[in-house]
Structure 1
Amino acid sequence: MYTKFVQVIINNNSKSTDSLYTYGVPNKFLDDIMVGKRVKITFSKTKNTMDALVVGIISKTDVPIDKIKPILDIIDEVVIVKPELIKLATWIRERYICKHSDVIRLMVPSQIKYEHDKENKIKNEKIIYLIDKLKPIDNYNLKNASKQIKAIEYLKTVDSIPLKDFTSNTDINSSTINTLIKKSIIGVEEKLYLDDDTKDYNLSINTLNKEQKKSYDEIIDSEDIAYLLHGITGSGKTEVYINLINYYKKLGKQSIMLVPEISLTNQIVDRFEKSFGKRIAVFHSKLTAKQRYIQWYKVLNNEVDVIIGARSALFAPIKNLGIIIVDEEHEESYKSSTSPKYDAVETAIKRAYIAKCKIVLGSATPSLKTYNMVNNGHIKLLEMKNRANHANLPDIKIIDMKQEIENGNDTIISRELYRSIKRTLKSNEQVILFVNRRGYSNFISCKKCGYVVK
């Protein structure tokens, strides 16, 4: 009856359905079925259709043929989850003990979910334009339609305009525009998103100094996959990242730049836009579902060279991955606190090995876990010990508060700090006091010997 079968992960969060299911492929779908596409199916005894992701195609199965249902349709025209991501999903499920559906949810945006015979519709942006701009207004025969005449006069001054911008800039509502569309006076086209052509990009890549170039060359020329770039604050790690990304861009490859959520600011994005223009996708938790889908869609269609973001950027549907960079790899925010509870740094390393691409972990204060991997030979250490452009390091003093107490100072501020604050305020400058304390657990200690009462 069937010459091919597919193994699928169904779009259902129930633990009882957390398994691979086998479906038959009717002859009419044989040419189009591929791993990484979604298919429509019915599950169990229900007649409602739902979507399932194809993760395997086989020619034989041990499942009795009378128990096998056919797939009803192929939802996607192109592969939306690459085979390397399916391998990664399997690894995440086994490594972090979670459900298939939890992992696939990281890779497939909610905006294209299909279940219960309903497909989520993504609202496109409508762009309107005047079909014949040279035609005189008198020839339209709209004597008693002042709003329609006003709309035509406005559209004569522009090539095209988003409908929402038109209605906000004028006192003309969308019903007037719809009437003109029906009369074939105004044309309309729909786009998923509007191109941002307003920015003037003067692209530039900074030249690396000797120390930066040494790390860059080692990453490019070495056969190793994983690297720890241990560079002091201000050593110019970001410039090394940008040059690495630019190298792989020239090879036609895309790059992932992971940053902690707290570091994902407009400043970071602006810096990368100066080097790569608008061919950047940004993923973070503040995006709406549609915005997240648009970024995902741009990556899928190879419209970007760089994917910048927090943990979720790691699962972007990249076709040809060149390098993964994890900035501030020591940050705890790389560990997910919701299901699936995965470590993004560890997962990034695994994706690099699956994709056979380079991965660079950058930090001024690497985690002990990463340093242990360096000592065990799993990661290659690269160091940058000097500040870029020969900038001076700040003068750091460590004050022994036990010595302060012995000298009669029983406050929480040392004499040295007090004098520095006083001197700074006298100069009309500001002071930041950073209290490195997390949590709410207090303790009592002896001021003389430092003994902590338990």
Structure 2
Amino acid sequence: MYVNLIVDKNVRKLDQLFSYSVPEKYKNNIEVGDRVVIPFGTYNSYIEGLVYEVIFDDFLLDSKIKLKDIIYILDKKYSFTNYQMYMIKFLREVYASTFQKAYLTVLPAQQVLNINTNYVFLDDILGFHKFDKISELNIKKIIKNKELKNLLSSCKLEKIQDFSLKVKEKEEVFISKNFDDLEKTLLNIPDRNVKIIRLIKYVNSLPYVEISKLRRATNSTTKDIENLVKKKFFSKYSLDKKSDATNYITDKGLSNDVTEIVFTDEQSAIIDTYSKYKAKNKHFKAIINGITGSGKTAVYMEIAKKVILNKKQVLILVPEIALTHQLISRIKTSLSKKIAVIHAHISSINKAIQYNEIANSDIEVIVGARSAIFCPFKDLGLIVIDEAHESSYKSDFTPKYDAVELMMGVSKFFNVDIILGSATNKLQHIVAAKKENFLMLHMKKRPKNAKIPKIHIVDMVNNKIKLGDITEIMYEKLAETFKNKEQAIILHNRRGYSSYRQCKECRHIEKCINCDVSLSIENNTGLAVCKYCAYRIEKYSNCTICNGKLFDVLPAVRSVVEDLRELFKNEKFVAVDSLLTADSDKYSKILSDFNEGKISALVGTQVIAKGLDFKGVTLACVLRADLMFNSPDYLAVERGFSLIYQLIGRAGRHRGDSLALIQTMDVENRVFKYLKDYDYYSFISEENSIRKLTTFPPYSKLYMIKFSSSDNKLCLDSASICFEFINTLLNKKNMDVVIYKPRAEYYTKIRNKYSYYLLLKNNAENHSKMAKILYNILVIDKYKILNKNVDVTLDFSPSVL
């Protein structure tokens, strides 16, 4: 009996399975998915392996091959489920991932095996005494490999290895403020200490903050924070490692109507369809296309109840962490108390506890962002992908998987029911779903006779401008809205989300030393920071080139906020962008304040258009909508339509009449005709025809190959060599593939690395063949054309070109 293993080694030529013998004591206990410790390589160093196959017939092996034995099987609670093993296979076959990267993608970060190697001297040599102990890291600094091997073989040195897999037991430590009046508190700061003021301002903006996060955000030390605790400015407390992972959510003031729901005819029809399918024991696969505010979530909940009654688990995916805030309390109240929340901001302790509970089927509902798809499910019965059109379901890290595509694969392989829900489902998903015989279900009305907003397209060329990008019409409608004690949401989806400083004399803009981007000024801390790397400096007051005076340049969104404050001095406006939403606690507080009516309008980038539900919003505004469609990206029009459509849907969900203003410099753009009539179906039909004609996805397959290096010339040369090689190889194989020459990334330098990319367009039916070719060239370097000083990454479905 032997096993084939995935080994935890990131070496191109080792991307294969390795065979190991199973000792007698483990033969009745070993299974696919078990995690094991094995001796590996010439020195038999301990590493981790994952059982990929169990082979019971030894005669399949060459009799001359002597296999090494497995050393140890980890506790079964850390084994991979069949579901997780399928994920590894899918990542490898569809995204050309290496075994190791696929394994580490699925492996929970808090369950990484720690292996320690030490050496013990068995004689007085090299200045060491008998039984002295030294780590592997230190011994390699003083002894070369050849000498080390001789000492081991002559029994003058003994190698000792141990391993442990222990989830962090460290408690999470939090800080909260001990004061009410910020201004009075700041007056008591000795010598107006900038660092202390920065800390106090940051903590004041949140209900609480993890101490490690506070250190990073304010460039402070633990000692700085502890001093403020001693002086009673802050309180410090720990989070019990077994506390409910959903308790951190601040849902005060959020729209959370859990009264008994009276379903509309459209909702009832979908729920009845599901029940009929299950009565016949049929696999339920559906795309629900429902206008914003049509009650899709209520349908998800009702279907989920039926799944839970059958002792199955439900996975609900949301595109943004922030969207869990409005969902959790609703689920806990009306669906299930046995709930897990999985996303990047959950502590490692709570995440580990929840993983074990999911594996033991103690959890009924799992809510999470993209990473939740890798949970150790054993009884998954329903997958719900809310706002399925969102780009955040696509991973930015290798392997660059699409969570929607992955879950469609899971649904098919394990016969798990699946729902893709959105007001603007992607054309790519619609075409793929039709091939798999998904039901196409529609919800075209809002419950309780709620009206959809009237849409007014505002021509910015022929209308008076009040200030900045705000037209007279928009100003009047905002004034009317605020007079009626109602609220607005304003979308300004332009580049330039961060403030920076520019010299009045020479116009120089200070840039990051590691990246080709300007330094942003943080509101909370006053630091000049790079949003791509860890570089940060104190805010500078004079130009570093000519010593001239500087002035602050506001980002597009914050510039609009300043204009609004100038026009409406008695109203409160808040800028919302991706930098703010990355701070889960602060964003939650703003959403709560907005829903309580403490904020008149939110002004933001695309994040404010995503799945939020507020009672007081009756006006939705879009500034410079035409800018969304001017990109050469083939997805720009579909993305822009979807974003505006979603933004409009934030208005009028709970009140009578509502309005959407779309300001544009190009009123003749075809998109506005469909938007004005809420005609998503005609829009997507026309978009489908254009894609067919131009042979862009879903009627072809795109591949992006990215090259990165600290040496600009080397990076471009490497990209050019690959271009020539791939082009020649594809011609030899008579493959009809379009390959474009190397292009520089939008930001040519990030984190001290320059980047170029190649783009290929292939027939979608030939994906498996193409994936194998690119795997051989770029993943395992079969043809030896890659440079070790250039990083290469593959993206099999780039969402942005």
Structure 1 and Structure 2 fold alike (TM over 0.5): yes
Match of 2:45 among 45, 48, 69: 48
Correspondence 1:436 to 2:493: yes
2:87–2:374 Cα contact (<8 Å) kept: no
Aligned to 1:96: 95
Which one-letter code corresponds to 1:422 in the other structure?
A
Correspondence 1:19 to 2:16: yes
Please report how far the alpha carbon of residue 193 of structure 1 lies from its aligned counterpart in structure 2 after TM superposition.
2.5
RMSD: 3.4
Please report how far the alpha carbon of residue 71 of structure 1 lies from its aligned counterpart in structure 2 after TM superposition.
0.8
Please report how far the alpha carbon of residue 50 of structure 1 lies from its aligned counterpart in structure 2 after TM superposition.
2.2
In structure 2, the CA distance between the partners of 1:264 and 1:16, relative to structure 1 (3 Å rule), is farther
Mapped to 1, the partners of 2:344 and 2:4 lie a distance apart of: 32
- Residue pairs, 1:112-131, within 5 angstroms: 112-116=111-115, 117-124=162-169
Mapped to 1, the partners of 2:246 and 2:372 lie a distance apart of: 24
Please report how far the alpha carbon of residue 277 of structure 1 lies from its aligned counterpart in structure 2 after TM superposition.
4.0
- Residue pairs, 1:170-249, within 5 angstroms: 193-194=242-243, 206=261, 208-222=263-277, 223-249=282-308
Which one-letter code corresponds to 2:2 in the other structure?
F
Please report how far the alpha carbon of residue 301 of structure 1 lies from its aligned counterpart in structure 2 after TM superposition.
1.4
More off after superposition, 283-292 vs 227-236: 283-292
- Residue pairs, 1:14-413, within 5 angstroms: 14-60=11-57, 61-64=60-63, 66-78=65-77, 80-116=79-115, 117-124=162-169, 193-194=242-243, 206=261, 208-222=263-277, 223-374=282-433, 376=435, 378-401=437-460, 404=462, 412-413=469-470
Mapped to 2, the partners of 1:447 and 1:352 lie a distance apart of: 44
The one-character-per-residue Cα deviations of 1:258-294 (angstroms, maximum 9, x if unpaired) are 1012443322111111124431111111123222212
Mapped to 2, the partners of 1:192 and 1:16 lie a distance apart of: 42
Mapped to 1, the partners of 2:247 and 2:496 lie a distance apart of: 45
Please report how far the alpha carbon of residue 243 of structure 1 lies from its aligned counterpart in structure 2 after TM superposition.
1.3
Name the structure, 1 or 2, with higher relative contact order (CA <8 Å, separation 6+): 1
More off after superposition, 306-315 vs 72-81: 72-81
Which one-letter code corresponds to 2:70 in the other structure?
I
In structure 2, the CA distance between the partners of 1:81 and 1:207, relative to structure 1 (3 Å rule), is farther
Mapped to 1, the partners of 2:27 and 2:294 lie a distance apart of: 55
2:83–2:378 Cα contact (<8 Å) kept: no
2:2–2:21 Cα contact (<8 Å) kept: yes
In structure 2, the CA distance between the partners of 1:448 and 1:357, relative to structure 1 (3 Å rule), is closer
Correspondence 1:10 to 2:7: yes
Which one-letter code corresponds to 1:286 in the other structure?
H
Look up the SS of the partner of 2:307 in the other structure. helix
In structure 2, the CA distance between the partners of 1:210 and 1:430, relative to structure 1 (3 Å rule), is closer
Mapped to 2, the partners of 1:299 and 1:204 lie a distance apart of: 29
Mapped to 2, the partners of 1:423 and 1:194 lie a distance apart of: 46
Which one-letter code corresponds to 1:119 in the other structure?
S
Look up the SS of the partner of 1:8 in the other structure. strand
Per the normalisation by structure 2, the TM-score is: 0.43
Please report how far the alpha carbon of residue 113 of structure 1 lies from its aligned counterpart in structure 2 after TM superposition.
2.3
1:36–1:54 Cα contact (<8 Å) kept: yes
The 4+ residue runs of structure 1 with deviation greater than 6 A are 195-199, 407-411, 439-443, 446-451
In structure 2, the CA distance between the partners of 1:245 and 1:110, relative to structure 1 (3 Å rule), is same
Mapped to 2, the partners of 1:450 and 1:209 lie a distance apart of: 37
Please report how far the alpha carbon of residue 347 of structure 1 lies from its aligned counterpart in structure 2 after TM superposition.
0.5
1:96–1:342 Cα contact (<8 Å) kept: yes
Look up the SS of the partner of 2:445 in the other structure. coil
The one-character-per-residue Cα deviations of 1:401-453 (angstroms, maximum 9, x if unpaired) are 45x26x9999854553333123334446554321233579998xx979989xx
Look up the SS of the partner of 1:398 in the other structure. strand
2:319–2:392 Cα contact (<8 Å) kept: yes
In structure 2, the CA distance between the partners of 1:51 and 1:259, relative to structure 1 (3 Å rule), is same
Look up the SS of the partner of 1:235 in the other structure. coil
The one-character-per-residue Cα deviations of 1:364-391 (angstroms, maximum 9, x if unpaired) are 1111212223555643210011112222
Aligned to 1:418: 475
Mapped to 1, the partners of 2:114 and 2:666 lie a distance apart of: 68
Mapped to 1, the partners of 2:442 and 2:386 lie a distance apart of: 15
Mapped to 1, the partners of 2:48 and 2:376 lie a distance apart of: 19
Look up the SS of the partner of 2:476 in the other structure. helix
Mapped to 2, the partners of 1:276 and 1:294 lie a distance apart of: 21
Aligned to 1:172: none
Which one-letter code corresponds to 2:290 in the other structure?
G
Mapped to 2, the partners of 1:429 and 1:251 lie a distance apart of: 44
1:113–1:119 Cα contact (<8 Å) kept: no
Mapped to 1, the partners of 2:300 and 2:415 lie a distance apart of: 18
Which one-letter code corresponds to 1:423 in the other structure?
E
Mapped to 1, the partners of 2:407 and 2:259 lie a distance apart of: 28
Look up the SS of the partner of 2:489 in the other structure. coil
Instruction: Tell me how many residue pairs correspond in the alignment.
Output: 378
Look up the SS of the partner of 1:52 in the other structure. strand
Per the normalisation by structure 1, the TM-score is: 0.74
Mapped to 1, the partners of 2:465 and 2:107 lie a distance apart of: 64
Choose between structure 1 and 2: higher strand proportion.
2
Which one-letter code corresponds to 1:215 in the other structure?
I
Mapped to 2, the partners of 1:195 and 1:259 lie a distance apart of: 20
Mapped to 2, the partners of 1:251 and 1:261 lie a distance apart of: 29
More off after superposition, 108-117 vs 303-312: 108-117
Look up the SS of the partner of 1:373 in the other structure. helix
Mapped to 1, the partners of 2:290 and 2:108 lie a distance apart of: 36
In structure 2, the CA distance between the partners of 1:244 and 1:288, relative to structure 1 (3 Å rule), is same
1:114–1:120 Cα contact (<8 Å) kept: yes
